[in-house]
Amino acid sequence: MPGPPRGIERRTSLGGERRPQSEVLKDALDDSRKPNSAELRVKLRDAHFEYLHKLEGTLVLAGATLADDGKTRTGSVFIINVKSKAEAEAFSAAEPFRKGGLFQRTEISHMRKGQFFPANAPKTAEGE
């Protein structure tokens, strides 16, 4: 899967500033896709990647949720680094998949960073 488009302006956060670790909340956004929405996803995909690329300093981790077959996309999860629930809502509301009507439900939850082992993450989207 190709990455985000080249030449996109990057910001460190929704407000453009870097924040000390002690000032941030981690929010988890769990979005469930509407049934039969594959065509809409393809239509919105480039804008989705462009948006996430611009907010590289806010985004911690994102990826599609999958059905038990390991292939059928059922939604998305975003872990973001923000100061407030309002900032998490703004991130979600402006996300092209949500804005474009791909999701039937969005749930935003605060989370605290517990254990974090990025070295254990797969190197590819396929889990390798």
HEC states along the chain? CCCCCCCCCCCCCCCCCCCCHHHCEEEEEEEEECCCCHHHHHHHHHHHHHHHHHCCCCEEEEEEEECCCCCCEEEEEEEEEECCHHHHHHHHHHCHHHHCCCEEEEEEEEECCCCCCHHHCCCCCCCC
- 6 within a domain of the structure (yes/no): no
pLDDT at 12: 40
**Residue 61: CATH number of its domain:** 3.30.70.1060
- 128 within a domain of the structure (yes/no): no
- 81 within a domain of the structure (yes/no): yes
Q: What b-and-e string marks burial along 67-89, b requiring 16 or more CB atoms within 10 Å of the CB? A: eeeeeeeebbebebbbeeeebbe
- 65 within a domain of the structure (yes/no): yes
Residue 16 makes CB contacts below 8 A (sequence gap 6+) with: none
Residue 115 makes CB contacts below 8 A (sequence gap 6+) with: none
Residue with tokens 């809409």: 40
Among 78, 74, 80, 125, residue whose Cα is nearest residue 103: 74
Residue 41 structural domain: 23-113
- 101 within a domain of the structure (yes/no): yes
- 72 within a domain of the structure (yes/no): yes
Domain count, the chain: 1
Tens place of pLDDT per residue across the chain (128 aa): 444 444 333 334 455 554 444 334 466 777 788 888 889 999 999 999 999 999 888 888 888 888 899 888 888 888 998 888 899 999 999 999 999 999 888 888 888 777 778 888 888 877 66
- 7 within a domain of the structure (yes/no): no
- 27 within a domain of the structure (yes/no): yes
Q: Looking at the whole model, is its pTM more than 0.75?
A: no
pLDDT at 68: 93
